[in-house]
Each structure stands twice: as C-alpha cells, then as structure tokens.
Chains A and B, each alone.
Chain A
C-alpha cells in the first residue's frame, strides 16, 4: 500500500474529499467532507460537523469509502477505511479543531464552525483512480525543500551574534528556500498581540504593525502554538485586505500600522517561534503559488523558526553586562528646527511632528530615550540601563528588549523621521536627532 504521506497534498482542504457509507439496511449515503486529516501512515480523521447520517452509518457499518483528490494535479485516490473511534478531546482532537478554526477564520466564519467531535478511521487500502489525463501519479511524492540549503540556513542563523542578524538570516533563509515574502512578528503576551519587527519582499516593512492573538492565521498560530496554513486563497478573504488599505494619514488618526501583504497571495503559513516552551513570535510566509506549503515545507519552516528562537534567546541572554555608557555630549551640530514629540500616556503612543510613530512598549522606550536626550544631553543607551530604568516600569520587556529596539529602529527608519535610532555595538543604541526636540506628555 502506498504510504498516506505521499498523498499529503490531498489533505490541504483545497479540493473537497468525499465519503460514502451505508446504513444497516444497505442504503448508501454520500457526502463531501470539510476536513480530512492525516493522523499517521495508517489512519485518517474526519471532522463531521453537519452530517448526522454519516456519523450514524459508520456506527452501524464501520466500513466506508473515501475519495481524496490531489490539490496539485487533480489525481484521485480511493481509500477503503474502517471507523475505529470518535474523539471529542485530546491532542488529536485539538489539532484538528485548531486547523479548522484557522480555515474558518480565513473565510470569515470564525466561531461558526465549532468542532464537536472527530471520527478516526484505519486505512485498509489505497488505490489511484484511473485518469483520462493518463498521468500516473503513483509514487509522485511532493517535492521537498533541499536539505543542503536548509543546513546552510541553520548554520547561518546560529552564527549570528545579535537580534538583527538572526532575523535577517531567517528572512534570507526563507528566500533561499523559495519563499521571498516573509514577516517576523514578536509576541506581546501582556497586550495579547504580535508586532511586526522585520519583513522581506514587501513594498514597505510594516514594522510596528500589530495582529491580535486569535486573529487570522498569525494570531491562531500564536495561541495554538502550532503552524497553521491556507494553501488556496483564490476564494477566501485575504488576511490584511482591510488594513492594507490604510494610508499614513489613517495611521496618524487610528494609531494603527497596516500589516504588509502580498496582493496576489495564494498560500500563507504562520509558524510559531518557540523556545523553552515560550512563544517568542510568529514567522509568517506567503506565496503567489497555490499549494506552496506542503508538509515538508511546514516542517522546514518550523525548524528554521526554532533555530531562530534559540538564537534570539541566546542574544538576549548574552548581551554584554556593560554599565550604561558614560555621559556623552551630543556630537555634531544638529539642525535648529524644533521637533514636536508627543507621548500619550494612555497607550504609550508617540507622535513626531504629528506623524504617528509607534505605541505600546516601543513607544515608552522612545519617549524615555528622548527624555534623557533632552534632559541630560546624552544620546547613547545600553540595553542594561534600559532594563534597569525604573521610569520605564517595564517588567515585561526583560526577555525581548533587543527585538523591541530593532522594531523601533526599523519603524523610525521607514517613517524617515528627524529622530533615528542606530545600532552602536552589541547591546547599545544611539539616538540621532536632527533638530531640537520638545517632548510633550499628553493623556
């Protein structure tokens, strides 16, 4: 029997599967299935939210027939299956429920398709259906990413000494594996959202844009801590469509930065970035190809994400334990233009010359550094000093300060503001201000 894993592109939910069962009296029943999941090489599970007759029939006669269709080439496979159990809890149930939730969220039906139970079947026989196209797809397993390339990507990530290097290496790695459109978001468990730090392959970086936990693929990957993907967006609402339409003027009004997005994306995957059982962020990758993310690609991106998570944790842990830099006079002659900076305490949002910059912890960091710059004339800051600064009241930032600094740096760069942040060696940043900043605190 051909292994089920060779049929992995039949399980993408792109082309519906079909199940036939029979009642005790021999009356057949046939229906489409919203979801078929490969459990292992000999078992599949189906979610059967609506069709009571199928559920009743398999309890009377456990032998059923399943038709799977390859999302890649349309080839069909007949499976003889036997019902073995029904589950409404446990890891397998949760896995199917999470995947269903992700696809429902993508089609704007979040919360409607609540999974009650799954039925698990043993696969007794797999047979390809003859095709008029004449193509024999037997043994035509999905192409897998190149291990040598993956190995090089892993080495490059582990060689990096700072957060920016790790994230760049991760984005480079995605591109080398054929996925040039990717976003790295950092998790903020206190505000229950993710913030874009860096991205590659978009017109703008979107640094500072936010996605709530539970929102779309990215949010669901964050709360379920497992990869979620959609491999055919031709008919579903695309994540970010609504917010992509926002302009800088909207940003100033709403204090919301749009997530970058690929207008013609057909496949998307969100992979949690986890280390020591802690969510650090999410890697989001999209592609204009249909069925771009097969099981092997998902595994590959998971490996890259975990390598990245470890490297990021090490960067934070190994930051030089230097004392704050000595007070340093601001070098050069900044312009004499007045720069109006407003810090709103309510959400820590910061506006520079009326343009929205950032909010949350990154906003608080920026306001703190500008305050020190104005009051003490100092422009160099160490991560250690910031961690210890009482004024920042920031217990939650100790684990990922470097990432927040990077996102702030990217956002200031993208907005082309007269206040910029530059990397000044490991664990050090320098504020470059072209003008005379005036800091206003507002509610």
Chain B
C-alpha cells in the first residue's frame, strides 16, 4: 500500500522504532531499530543491531513477517506498519543515518530529562543490518479512540 507523506516524514524524524517478528512456532519477538527512512511510498527501511537482537534478525531471515511501530516520545503519536521484510548488511550511508539518528534520540531524551546512560542500552550500533519492509498495512497507534484504525481508512480496525 502507499503511505501518506505525513507518515513518510514521520518515519524519518527522531521517533522510537520497535519491531515485532515471530518464529516458525508463531512465538513473537521484539527488537528496536536505530534509524529509519522511506525508500518510496510503499517501502521503508529500518536499521537493526543483529548483535543486540539476533532473534528478530533470524525471524525476519526465516519468514520476513514484521510489524514496525514508530512512536514520538514527546506526544506518543504512533504509527504501525506491517508487511514482509528483506535483510541486507548496512552500508556506509546506513551507518551514517544511524549515527545521526542516535545523536538525535540522545538529544531528544536529554530534553525530556532522561540522561545518556539511561538511553544508551537501547541504541546498539554493532552489526547493523537493514530490514526493508514492503508495507502491506498501516495503522494509527496513538493511544486514544483512534488507536487501531487503519492509517488511510478511519473505519477498518486491526493494528492496535
């Protein structure tokens, strides 16, 4: 599906990124990403430390299924995208994107009163791997009455 410009811009801004995957037995697993970008209106990429989140990487390598939530800490505005992923090793442009992302996130949490030491365990930069998500579904996930609504249709529910 095609994402709105609003969501594409949101993904590339300093927002927290979390990923849900699952193994062959349908057991879910959680990971965080350290940077994201829109490739085009239907495809986004997020950067994940395979060192910190080996289960999620193994799951995506095995079945590609992923749900990715982007959430802005200051006001909890959140979107969840679902679809299938392909993995590739991070290149220098990805490493640079991730470096800038981490600097932005440290600054953002610093402004909210959370010190560097508290935030650093969430932002590993080892073995950075890129997961490219072909978006099949998009949902609003901001807490409130619209949580779970499809991002492009106010009636369909299924992503909360």
Contact = CB atoms under 8 A, between A and B. Distances in A.
Interface of A: 15, 18, 20-22, 26-32, 34, 49-54, 61, 63-67, 69, 73-76, 78, 80, 129-133, 135, 232, 234-235
Contacts of A80: 27
Contacts of B76: 32
A425 B147 CA distance: 64
Contacts of A232: 113
Interface stretch (B6-14, B15-23, B91-99): B15-23
Nearest to A69: B122
Nearest to B51: A130
**Chain B binding surface, main DSSP class:** mixed
Contacts of A20: 20-22, 28-30, 67
Contacts of A51: 141, 147-148, 160
B56 to A, nearest CB: 9
Contact of A235 (B29, B112, B120, B160): B112
- 7 smallest beta-carbon distances between A and B, as pairs: A30-B20, A234-B113, A20-B20, A28-B20, A51-B160, A20-B28, A131-B121
A424 B35 CA distance: 71
A64 B148 contact: no
Nearest to B139: A53
Interface of B: 18-22, 26-30, 49, 51-53, 63, 65-69, 71, 76, 78, 80, 82, 112-114, 117-126, 139, 141, 143-145, 147-148, 157-160
Contacts of A69: 122
Contacts of A22: 20, 22, 26-28
Given A22-B28, A73-B117, A28 B122 contact: no
Given A29-B67, A32-B76, A53-B148, 16 more contacts: A15-B114, A18-B30, A20-B21, A20-B30, A20-B67, A27-B82, A28-B28, A28-B82, A32-B18, A50-B148, A52-B157, A54-B160, A73-B121, A132-B123, A133-B120, A234-B114
Nearest to B29: A65
Contact of A132 (B19, B30, B126, B160): B126
Contact of A18 (B18, B27, B51, B123): B18
A73 B65 contact: no
A76 B22 CA distance: 19
A161 B50 CA distance: 65
B80 A29 contact: yes
A53 to B, nearest CB: 4
Contacts of B66: 28
B30 A53 contact: no
